[in-house]
Protein backbone atom coordinates (compact mmCIF):
# COMPACT_ATOMS: atom_id res chain seq x y z
CA UNK A 1 0.00 0.00 0.00
CA UNK A 2 1.46 3.32 -1.07
CA UNK A 3 0.83 6.28 1.19
CA UNK A 4 0.83 9.79 -0.23
CA UNK A 5 2.98 12.41 1.44
CA UNK A 6 1.03 14.78 3.58
CA UNK A 7 1.22 18.31 2.35
CA UNK A 8 1.95 20.99 4.96
CA UNK A 9 -0.93 23.20 5.84
CA UNK A 10 -0.87 26.56 4.12
CA UNK A 11 -0.12 29.47 6.38
CA UNK A 12 -2.32 32.53 6.62
CA UNK A 13 -2.46 34.61 3.49
CA UNK A 14 -0.51 37.87 3.66
CA UNK A 15 -2.55 40.96 4.41
CA UNK A 16 -1.84 44.63 3.73
CA UNK A 17 -0.93 44.97 7.41
CA UNK A 18 1.70 42.23 7.27
CA UNK A 19 5.13 43.85 7.79
CA UNK A 20 7.52 43.53 4.89
CA UNK A 21 10.52 41.28 5.46
CA UNK A 22 13.69 43.13 6.46
CA UNK A 23 15.95 44.04 3.53
CA UNK A 24 18.97 41.83 2.92
CA UNK A 25 22.32 42.92 1.48
CA UNK A 26 23.58 41.70 -1.89
CA UNK A 27 25.85 38.71 -1.72
CA UNK A 28 29.42 39.68 -0.88
CA UNK A 29 28.61 43.34 -0.16
CA UNK A 30 30.34 45.06 2.78
CA UNK A 31 27.64 45.67 5.38
CA UNK A 32 27.58 48.61 7.80
CA UNK A 33 26.77 47.37 11.30
CA UNK A 34 27.06 50.85 12.83
CA UNK A 35 27.10 54.31 11.24
CA UNK A 36 26.68 57.62 13.07
CA UNK A 37 27.95 61.21 12.96
CA UNK A 38 27.62 62.12 16.62
CA UNK A 39 29.42 65.46 16.92
CA UNK A 40 28.78 66.97 13.50
CA UNK A 41 32.29 66.12 12.28
CA UNK A 42 33.46 62.53 12.92
CA UNK A 43 31.97 59.49 11.21
CA UNK A 44 31.85 56.36 13.35
CA UNK A 45 31.57 53.41 11.00
CA UNK A 46 31.76 49.66 11.57
CA UNK A 47 31.64 47.38 8.52
CA UNK A 48 31.33 43.63 8.33
CA UNK A 49 33.74 42.86 5.50
CA UNK A 50 37.21 41.72 4.62
CA UNK A 51 40.04 44.14 5.47
CA UNK A 52 40.51 47.04 3.12
CA UNK A 53 40.39 50.83 2.86
CA UNK A 54 37.11 52.65 3.46
CA UNK A 55 36.73 55.68 1.19
CA UNK A 56 34.37 58.43 0.12
CA UNK A 57 33.51 59.00 -3.56
CA UNK A 58 31.39 61.76 -5.10
CA UNK A 59 28.08 60.21 -6.12
CA UNK A 60 27.50 62.49 -9.10
CA UNK A 61 30.96 62.13 -10.64
CA UNK A 62 31.63 58.83 -12.46
CA UNK A 63 35.21 57.80 -11.87
CA UNK A 64 35.64 60.35 -9.08
CA UNK A 65 38.80 60.23 -7.01
CA UNK A 66 38.51 58.14 -3.86
CA UNK A 67 39.03 60.02 -0.59
CA UNK A 68 40.45 57.59 2.01
CA UNK A 69 38.90 57.80 5.47
CA UNK A 70 41.93 58.61 7.56
CA UNK A 71 40.96 57.39 10.99
CA UNK A 72 41.69 58.30 14.59
CA UNK A 73 40.63 54.84 15.73
CA UNK A 74 40.89 51.69 13.66
CA UNK A 75 39.94 48.15 14.55
CA UNK A 76 40.35 45.31 12.10
CA UNK A 77 39.59 41.63 12.31
CA UNK A 78 38.91 38.66 10.13
CA UNK A 79 35.52 39.97 9.06
CA UNK A 80 35.21 43.49 10.43
CA UNK A 81 36.60 46.99 9.96
CA UNK A 82 35.87 49.96 12.24
CA UNK A 83 36.95 53.57 11.75
CA UNK A 84 36.40 57.00 13.29
CA UNK A 85 37.15 59.61 10.64
CA UNK A 86 36.92 63.41 10.78
CA UNK A 87 34.78 63.76 7.66
CA UNK A 88 34.30 67.51 8.14
CA UNK A 89 38.06 68.04 7.93
CA UNK A 90 38.42 65.71 4.94
CA UNK A 91 35.71 67.39 2.88
CA UNK A 92 36.24 70.99 3.99
CA UNK A 93 33.50 73.63 3.95
CA UNK A 94 31.10 72.86 1.07
CA UNK A 95 30.08 75.62 -1.31
CA UNK A 96 27.00 73.62 -2.34
CA UNK A 97 25.23 70.43 -1.32
CA UNK A 98 27.11 67.25 -2.23
CA UNK A 99 26.65 63.51 -1.70
CA UNK A 100 29.41 60.94 -1.26
CA UNK A 101 29.18 57.15 -1.54
CA UNK A 102 30.88 55.10 1.13
CA UNK A 103 32.91 52.39 -0.58
CA UNK A 104 35.37 49.70 0.43
CA UNK A 105 38.55 49.32 -1.58
CA UNK A 106 39.70 45.77 -0.92
CA UNK A 107 43.25 44.58 -1.37
CA UNK A 108 44.27 42.96 -4.63
CA UNK A 109 43.33 45.79 -6.97
CA UNK A 110 39.63 44.96 -7.12
CA UNK A 111 37.06 47.63 -7.90
CA UNK A 112 35.62 49.52 -4.93
CA UNK A 113 32.35 48.15 -3.59
CA UNK A 114 29.53 50.23 -2.15
CA UNK A 115 28.87 49.79 1.57
CA UNK A 116 25.37 48.44 2.16
CA UNK A 117 23.36 49.54 5.19
CA UNK A 118 20.13 48.44 6.84
CA UNK A 119 17.49 51.19 7.14
CA UNK A 120 18.78 54.14 9.15
CA UNK A 121 17.03 55.28 12.35
CA UNK A 122 14.50 58.10 12.05
CA UNK A 123 16.00 61.58 11.82
CA UNK A 124 14.53 62.60 15.16
CA UNK A 125 16.57 59.83 16.81
CA UNK A 126 19.79 60.46 14.93
CA UNK A 127 20.13 64.22 14.62
CA UNK A 128 23.47 65.47 13.36
CA UNK A 129 24.55 68.82 14.84
CA UNK A 130 26.35 71.45 12.80
CA UNK A 131 30.10 70.91 12.49
CA UNK A 132 32.32 72.78 14.96
CA UNK A 133 33.22 75.32 12.25
CA UNK A 134 29.58 76.46 12.30
CA UNK A 135 29.41 76.38 8.49
CA UNK A 136 28.99 72.71 7.56
CA UNK A 137 26.02 70.36 7.99
CA UNK A 138 26.83 66.67 7.51
CA UNK A 139 24.37 63.81 7.37
CA UNK A 140 23.89 60.14 6.56
CA UNK A 141 21.46 58.78 3.99
CA UNK A 142 20.63 55.48 2.32
CA UNK A 143 19.81 54.96 -1.35
CA UNK A 144 16.92 52.84 -2.63
CA UNK A 145 19.44 50.05 -3.23
CA UNK A 146 20.63 50.28 0.38
CA UNK A 147 23.97 51.97 -0.27
CA UNK A 148 25.24 54.22 2.54
CA UNK A 149 26.09 57.84 1.73
CA UNK A 150 27.45 60.92 3.48
CA UNK A 151 25.85 64.25 2.65
CA UNK A 152 27.48 67.66 3.11
CA UNK A 153 25.89 71.06 2.65
CA UNK A 154 26.44 74.62 3.84
CA UNK A 155 24.80 75.17 7.20
CA UNK A 156 21.96 77.64 7.48
CA UNK A 157 23.33 81.03 8.52
CA UNK A 158 23.11 81.86 12.19
CA UNK A 159 24.52 84.15 14.84
CA UNK A 160 26.77 82.74 17.56
CA UNK A 161 25.82 83.41 21.17
CA UNK A 162 28.98 84.47 23.01
CA UNK A 163 27.63 84.99 26.53
CA UNK A 164 24.51 85.45 28.66
CA UNK A 165 24.47 87.59 31.79
CA UNK A 166 21.62 88.37 34.17
CA UNK A 167 21.65 91.05 36.86
CA UNK A 168 19.24 93.31 38.68
CA UNK A 169 18.82 95.41 35.53
CA UNK A 170 17.75 92.52 33.33
CA UNK A 171 19.18 90.02 30.86
CA UNK A 172 22.08 90.80 28.53
CA UNK A 173 22.97 88.70 25.48
CA UNK A 174 26.30 89.06 23.70
CA UNK A 175 26.26 87.86 20.08
CA UNK A 176 28.68 87.70 17.17
CA UNK A 177 27.02 90.34 15.00
CA UNK A 178 27.89 93.69 13.46
CA UNK A 179 24.43 95.01 12.58
CA UNK A 180 20.69 94.47 12.96
CA UNK A 181 18.63 94.04 16.11
CA UNK A 182 17.66 91.23 18.46
CA UNK A 183 14.15 89.83 18.05
CA UNK A 184 11.80 87.53 19.93
CA UNK A 185 9.97 85.39 17.35
CA UNK A 186 6.86 83.30 17.89
CA UNK A 187 6.54 79.75 16.54
CA UNK A 188 4.92 81.12 13.35
CA UNK A 189 7.78 83.63 12.89
CA UNK A 190 5.69 86.57 14.12
CA UNK A 191 7.90 89.26 15.65
CA UNK A 192 6.82 89.69 19.27
CA UNK A 193 9.46 92.23 20.29
CA UNK A 194 12.75 93.73 19.13
CA UNK A 195 15.70 95.08 21.09
CA UNK A 196 18.51 97.31 19.80
CA UNK A 197 22.03 95.97 19.50
CA UNK A 198 24.92 97.94 20.95
CA UNK A 199 27.66 97.28 18.40
CA UNK A 200 31.17 96.90 19.82
CA UNK A 201 34.53 96.24 18.22
CA UNK A 202 34.26 92.44 18.27
CA UNK A 203 30.64 91.71 19.24
CA UNK A 204 27.22 93.22 19.92
CA UNK A 205 25.08 93.27 23.06
CA UNK A 206 21.34 93.53 23.65
CA UNK A 207 19.54 94.02 26.97
CA UNK A 208 16.09 92.68 27.82
CA UNK A 209 14.21 93.88 30.89
CA UNK A 210 10.91 92.61 32.26
CA UNK A 211 9.10 95.83 31.34
CA UNK A 212 10.04 95.31 27.68
CA UNK A 213 8.64 91.78 27.41
CA UNK A 214 5.48 91.55 25.29
CA UNK A 215 2.18 90.98 27.11
CA UNK A 216 1.09 87.84 25.24
CA UNK A 217 -0.15 84.37 26.11
CA UNK A 218 2.37 81.84 27.38
CA UNK A 219 4.25 80.43 24.41
CA UNK A 220 7.49 79.14 23.00
CA UNK A 221 9.76 81.78 21.45
CA UNK A 222 13.15 81.85 19.79
CA UNK A 223 15.84 84.51 19.53
CA UNK A 224 17.10 85.88 16.23
CA UNK A 225 19.28 88.71 14.96
CA UNK A 226 18.88 90.68 11.75
CA UNK A 227 16.13 92.72 10.17
CA UNK A 228 12.46 92.10 9.48
CA UNK A 229 13.41 90.92 5.99
CA UNK A 230 16.01 88.41 7.18
CA UNK A 231 16.27 86.88 10.64
CA UNK A 232 19.17 84.59 11.62
CA UNK A 233 18.76 82.28 14.63
CA UNK A 234 20.93 82.82 17.70
CA UNK A 235 22.68 79.50 18.34
CA UNK A 236 25.40 77.80 20.32
CA UNK A 237 28.91 78.63 19.24
CA UNK A 238 30.06 75.01 19.61
CA UNK A 239 27.82 72.01 19.06
CA UNK A 240 29.95 69.09 20.20
CA UNK A 241 27.04 67.88 22.31
CA UNK A 242 23.29 68.39 22.21
CA UNK A 243 22.15 70.24 25.34
CA UNK A 244 19.38 68.58 27.33
CA UNK A 245 16.27 70.40 28.49
CA UNK A 246 17.64 70.20 32.03
CA UNK A 247 20.60 72.48 31.21
CA UNK A 248 20.14 75.56 33.39
CA UNK A 249 20.03 78.94 31.66
CA UNK A 250 19.17 82.38 33.10
CA UNK A 251 15.60 83.46 33.81
CA UNK A 252 13.85 86.82 34.03
CA UNK A 253 11.65 87.36 37.09
CA UNK A 254 9.40 90.34 37.78
CA UNK A 255 10.83 91.84 40.99
CA UNK A 256 7.47 93.33 42.01
CA UNK A 257 5.30 90.22 41.58
CA UNK A 258 8.07 87.60 41.81
CA UNK A 259 6.55 85.97 38.72
CA UNK A 260 8.78 84.17 36.25
CA UNK A 261 8.35 85.87 32.87
CA UNK A 262 11.04 84.37 30.62
CA UNK A 263 12.88 81.08 30.91
CA UNK A 264 15.72 80.45 28.44
CA UNK A 265 16.46 77.02 27.05
CA UNK A 266 18.26 75.32 24.19
CA UNK A 267 16.10 74.18 21.30
CA UNK A 268 15.68 70.53 20.38
CA UNK A 269 16.62 70.99 16.75
CA UNK A 270 19.85 69.70 15.24
CA UNK A 271 21.10 73.27 15.42
CA UNK A 272 21.08 74.15 19.12
CA UNK A 273 19.33 77.51 18.81
CA UNK A 274 18.56 79.71 21.78
CA UNK A 275 14.88 79.52 22.60
CA UNK A 276 12.73 80.58 25.50
CA UNK A 277 9.46 80.17 27.31
CA UNK A 278 7.57 83.46 27.59
CA UNK A 279 4.99 83.28 30.36
CA UNK A 280 1.75 85.20 30.39
CA UNK A 281 1.42 87.98 32.96
CA UNK A 282 -0.65 86.89 35.96
CA UNK A 283 -0.74 83.22 34.95
CA UNK A 284 2.23 81.63 36.75
CA UNK A 285 0.59 78.20 37.03
CA UNK A 286 0.32 77.67 33.28
CA UNK A 287 1.78 74.31 32.17
CA UNK A 288 5.24 75.11 30.86
CA UNK A 289 5.36 72.37 28.23
CA UNK A 290 1.79 72.57 26.96
CA UNK A 291 1.21 74.01 23.51
CA UNK A 292 4.80 75.10 23.20
CA UNK A 293 4.86 74.93 19.44
CA UNK A 294 8.42 73.68 19.58
CA UNK A 295 9.32 71.07 17.00
CA UNK A 296 11.20 67.97 18.02
Summarize pLDDT for 74-103 with one digit per residue, the tens.
Answer: 666 667 888 999 999 999 888 899 999 999
pLDDT single digits (tens) 107-137: 776 789 999 999 998 765 667 877 877 788 8
pLDDT single digits (tens) 197-219: 999 999 999 999 999 999 888 99
Q: What is the mean pLDDT of the chain?
A: 82
Q: Residue 194 gets which letter from DSSP?
A: E
Q: Give the rounded distance of the alpha carbon of 272 from its chain centre.
A: 8
Using alpha carbons only, how large is the chain's radius of gyration in Å? 26
Distance CA 190, CA 293 (A): 13
Taking the CA of residue 49 as centre, how many other CA atoms within 13 Å lie in the half-sphere pointing to its CB? 31
Query: Distance from first CA to last CA of the chain, Å, rounded?
Result: 71
Percentage of the chain with pLDDT > 90?
Answer: 36
Distance CA 207, CA 59 (A): 48
Q: What is the mean pLDDT of residues 64-75?
A: 81
In order of start, what are the domains of the chain with their CATH numbers? Answer: 31-154 (2.60.40), 159-278 (2.60.40)
Residue 236 or residue 5, greater confidence: 236
SS3 76: strand
Residue 293 or residue 260, greater confidence: 260
Q: What angle do CA 261, 265, 270 make, to 5 degrees?
A: 150
| Residue (of 76, 36, 23) closest to 54 by Cα position | 76
The answer for residues whose C-beta is within 8 angstroms of residue 1's C-beta and 6 or more apart is none
Amino acid sequence: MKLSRRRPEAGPAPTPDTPAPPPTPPRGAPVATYARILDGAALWLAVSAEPGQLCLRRSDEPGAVLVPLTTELEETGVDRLSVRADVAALLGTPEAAATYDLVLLASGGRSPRAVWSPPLPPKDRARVPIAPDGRTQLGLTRTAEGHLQVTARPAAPGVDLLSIRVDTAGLELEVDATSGELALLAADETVLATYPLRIGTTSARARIVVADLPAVATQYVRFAVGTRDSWRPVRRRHNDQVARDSVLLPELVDDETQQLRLRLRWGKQAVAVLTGRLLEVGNPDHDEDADSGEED
